[in-house]
Copies of this chain bind each other. A is one copy, B any other.
Amino acid sequence: MEKSEFLKAFQSAMDANALIAFAANCTISYSGRAESFLAQGDRLIVIKPDKTLLVHQPSGSNPINYMKEGTQHLLSWEGSNLLLHSRNRGLKEQMRIVLLRVHFADSHLLEDREKLVLTGTEKDMAEMLYRNPELIEKGFVPLGMEEQTRYGFIDLLGYDQSHTLVVVECKRYLADFSAVEQLRRYAEKIRQSKGLDAVRGILAAPRISPNALRMLQENGFEFRKVEPPKYLETYRKDQTSVWEFEQREI
């Protein structure tokens, strides 16, 4: 693609607040919270309507370079190449992308007001345990979830059969050191604030690392193997059979 043609297309897209995506052979310098340099290669570059900039290499999930929303983007000639100079004054960040060759470029106005509906989060786990307390243990009585307590972001709070207070911390994947220490912080906080002798702590997760389990037990806490729930019931009911069939197929 001709650079002069790209320059025009870029300007129109920016003026129209359209999303622009282009592939180019380029070098990239960044300076801001850190500093980086990326030598010459082919990348996909995207500028969104909110002026977020993303640079993607041919592999990997994450952008190799990026600028946050609200960044200013200026494209100009630098000899026979084009220079994309992106600046975010508020964040004191800037990027310089030298475009040696533009492979393709496209832009379009995007309309999208939808938000993702997601299940299987840590909060969903806490709600499941709130509604199915026997998953913690027989006789467990849930009191409240999350910010419903004044003692911090405790996932789930309740009493056991002998009326001892129980703090439950949920992790949707692997429970590690950090989860154990979170639990310890919460249990200690609530023990002090309520003037109790003892508070039980339970870590609920599908899995726990061996070291974290040791630390958990050293603190007198317990582990419960619990899977996060994954059911988009509202959105599934009209296509359940097909979806479940495909699930089984995998």
Interface residues of A (CB under 8 A from B): 19, 21, 23, 29, 31, 33-44, 46, 48-50, 52, 54, 56-61, 63-66, 68-69, 87, 89, 92, 94, 103-121, 172-173, 177-178, 181, 185, 228, 230-232, 235, 243, 246-247, 250
Contact = CB atoms under 8 A, between A and B. Distances in A.
8 contacts: A34-B230, A36-B118, A39-B114, A42-B109, A44-B46, A49-B59, A50-B60, A58-B111
Contact of A34 (B38, B61, B89, B118): B118
A58 B110 contact: yes
B37 A117 contact: yes
Contacts of A60: 48, 50, 52, 69
Q: Which 7 A-B pairs have the closest CB atoms?
A: A34-B120, A41-B112, A50-B59, A42-B110, A104-B106, A58-B110, A39-B114
B46 A56 contact: yes
A104 B19 CA distance: 11
B116 A64 contact: yes
A21 B52 contact: no
